[in-house]
């Protein structure tokens, strides 16, 4: 976005106000004399957090204000969804900023590229109805009714999971087409935690959605964690971890566990993979030590936050709540050398081997 230059707002005739409100994505208009508290607060808002996101204009024609349904002095926000012209009921700076933020979001929106900044960039809690657009039902009408009844409490969004940005959202949230329809709450302000509505959508009501959101806001819900199926067998030397097995195979395990958190598309992860396999093969007979991998695009584990790929963490036996970040070299020999210094299980193995020599 180009930074705005020049005055934060500009005067406009009534015809210009009409043209601007039709053309700009969002515009805020002050109607009244350019003096007094309301105008001063309008100027502060125009120079504040929304300065780059709205067009700010002023008009001193009382008749023009009347034609827009505005008080004089008064402030209106123009947008291109729901009710197109809104009038501010409070004129304090904090009140205006809060009102603008809430008013820039539709009562209910279909997820798109334009939604990303408004939800994730602004870190707004959102409730998503994932459904197949070609096969919706009464639950979608109920969801829409709840969006109107609960406006301002949480952002209401609908999405498919098949294509484009909606497909990527479905992958991120862990919702596939065979799960539709389903409801999730996402909280970008708390590590992008996800919460699943467990009720039957055929029995969905506005009251049940309200109760679900209330439970979420009260902290009464456990986060939903993505997981692939637990492997029936472990085929190779590298132990495959998934979301559902992480607690048992890592946190509650009696083994030292070195975990590679990776993404299948990550180039550095692909480069590391041969060395990781070689390490696991060479150390497969070390009792109490696992070399593991975890596809962090398809799985999640409680308490694990990955900022980049690959991320390597070492979980020591008896200290599972405080993994050690692996920051050594990433060749086979360098990884094994690091484990000689940090893994009690490997040290014990080497001690036994030494005694037998």
Flag whether pLDDT at 136 surpasses 80: no
In a domain, 5, yes or no: no
Q: Which of 103, 126, 148 is the last residue of a domain?
A: 103
In a domain, 224, yes or no: no
For residue 30, give the H/E element and its range.
Answer: strand 27-31
Question: Quick one: 194 and 250 in the same domain?
Answer: no
Of all residues in the chain, the percent with pLDDT exceeding 70 is: 96
In a domain, 230, yes or no: no
Question: Quick one: 292 and 343 in the same domain?
Answer: yes
In a domain, 150, yes or no: yes
In the structure, what pLDDT confidence band is assigned to residue 2 with cuts at 50, 70 and 90? very low
Q: pLDDT digits over 264-321, tens only?
A: 999 999 999 999 999 999 999 999 999 999 999 999 998 888 889 999 999 998 766 6
Q: What pLDDT, on a 0 to 100 scale, did the predictor assign at position 320? A: 62
Question: Quick one: 28 and 118 in the same domain?
Answer: no
Question: Quick one: 42 and 133 in the same domain?
Answer: no
Question: Quick one: 70 and 119 in the same domain?
Answer: no
CATH of residue 203's domain is: 3.40.30.10
Tell me the mean pLDDT in the region 220-242.
93
In a domain, 176, yes or no: yes
Domain boundaries, position 23: 10-103
Q: What pLDDT, on a 0 to 100 scale, did the predictor assign at position 305? A: 85
Question: Quick one: 342 and 294 in the same domain?
Answer: yes
Question: Quick one: 206 and 248 in the same domain?
Answer: no
74: phi then psi, degrees, rounded to nearest 5:
-165, 170
Name which of 348, 330, 344, 353 is nearest 256 in CA terms.
Answer: 344
Sign of CA dihedral 353, 355, 356, 357: positive
Higher pLDDT pick, 118 / 301? 301
- Collapsing DSSP to helix, strand or coil, 185 comes out as strand
Mean pLDDT of the chain: 91
In a domain, 27, yes or no: yes
Q: Which of 103, 119, 145 is the last residue of a domain?
A: 103
Q: What's the domain count of the chain?
A: 3
In the structure, what pLDDT confidence band is assigned to residue 25 with cuts at 50, 70 and 90? very high
Q: What pLDDT, on a 0 to 100 scale, did the predictor assign at position 114? A: 84
Q: What pLDDT, on a 0 to 100 scale, did the predictor assign at position 105? A: 84
Q: What pLDDT, on a 0 to 100 scale, did the predictor assign at position 281? A: 96
Flag whether pLDDT at 356 surpasses 80: no
Question: Quick one: 139 and 80 in the same domain?
Answer: no
Q: Is the pTM of this model over 0.85?
A: no
Tell me the mean pLDDT in the region 335-340.
96
In a domain, 4, yes or no: no
Q: What pLDDT, on a 0 to 100 scale, did the predictor assign at position 307? A: 86
Name which of 40, 29, 151 is nearest 92 in CA terms.
Answer: 40
Question: Quick one: 250 and 269 in the same domain?
Answer: yes
Q: What pLDDT, on a 0 to 100 scale, did the predictor assign at position 111? A: 93
Higher pLDDT pick, 307 / 74? 74
Question: Quick one: 168 and 258 in the same domain?
Answer: no
Sign of CA dihedral 177, 179, 182, 183: negative
In the structure, what pLDDT confidence band is assigned to residue 28 with cuts at 50, 70 and 90? very high
Lowest mean pLDDT among 48-57, 127-136, 245-254: 127-136
Question: Quick one: 161 and 82 in the same domain?
Answer: no
Tell me the mean pLDDT in the region 331-345.
95
Q: What pLDDT, on a 0 to 100 scale, did the predictor assign at position 321? A: 63
In a domain, 343, yes or no: yes
Q: What pLDDT, on a 0 to 100 scale, did the predictor assign at position 187? A: 94
Question: Quick one: 89 and 159 in the same domain?
Answer: no
In the structure, what pLDDT confidence band is assigned to residue 352 with cuts at 50, 70 and 90? low
């Amino acid at each position: 976005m180009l930074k705005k230059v020049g005055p934060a707002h500009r005067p406009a005739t009534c015809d210009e106000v009409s043209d601007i409100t039709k053309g700009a994505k969002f515009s805020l208009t002050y109607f009244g004399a350019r003096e007094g508290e309301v105008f001063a607060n309008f100027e502060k808002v125009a120079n504040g957090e929304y300065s780059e996101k709205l067009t700010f204009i002023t008009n001193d024609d009382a008749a023009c204000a009347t034609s827009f349904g505005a008080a004089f002095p008064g402030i209106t926000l123009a947008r291109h969804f729901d009710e197109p012209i809104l009038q501010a009921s409070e004129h304090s700076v904090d009140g205006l900023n809060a009102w603008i933020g809430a008013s820039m979001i539709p009562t209910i929106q279909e997820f798109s590229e334009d939604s990303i900044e408004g939800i994730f960039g602004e870190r707004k809690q959102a409730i998503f109805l994932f459904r197949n657009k070609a096969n919706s039902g009464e639950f979608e009408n109920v969801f829409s009714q709840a969006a109107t009844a609960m406006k301002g409490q949480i952002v209401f969004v609908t999405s498919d999971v098949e294509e484009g940005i909606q497909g990527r959202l479905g992958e991120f949230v862990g919702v596939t087409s065979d799960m539709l329809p389903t409801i999730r709450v996402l909280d970008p302000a708390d590590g992008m935690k996800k919460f699943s509505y467990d009720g039957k959508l055929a029995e969905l009501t506005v009251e049940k959605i309200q109760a679900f959101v209330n439970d979420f806001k009260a902290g009464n819900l456990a986060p939903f964690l993505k997981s692939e199926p637990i492997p029936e067998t472990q085929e190779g030397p590298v132990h495959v971890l998934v979301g559902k097995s992480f607690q048992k195979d890592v946190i509650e395990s009696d083994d030292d566990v070195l975990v590679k958190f990776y993404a299948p598309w990550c180039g550095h992860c692909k480069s590391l993979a041969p060395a990781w396999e070689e390490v696991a093969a060479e150390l497969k007979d070390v009792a109490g030590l696992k070399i593991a991998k975890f596809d962090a695009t398809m799985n999640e584990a409680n308490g694990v936050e990955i900022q980049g790929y690959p991320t390597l963490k070492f979980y020591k036996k008896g200290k599972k709540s405080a993994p050690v970040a692996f920051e050594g070299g990433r060749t086979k020999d360098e990884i094994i050398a690091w484990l000689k210094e940090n893994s009690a299980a490997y040290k014990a193995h080497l001690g036994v081997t030494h005694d037998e020599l």
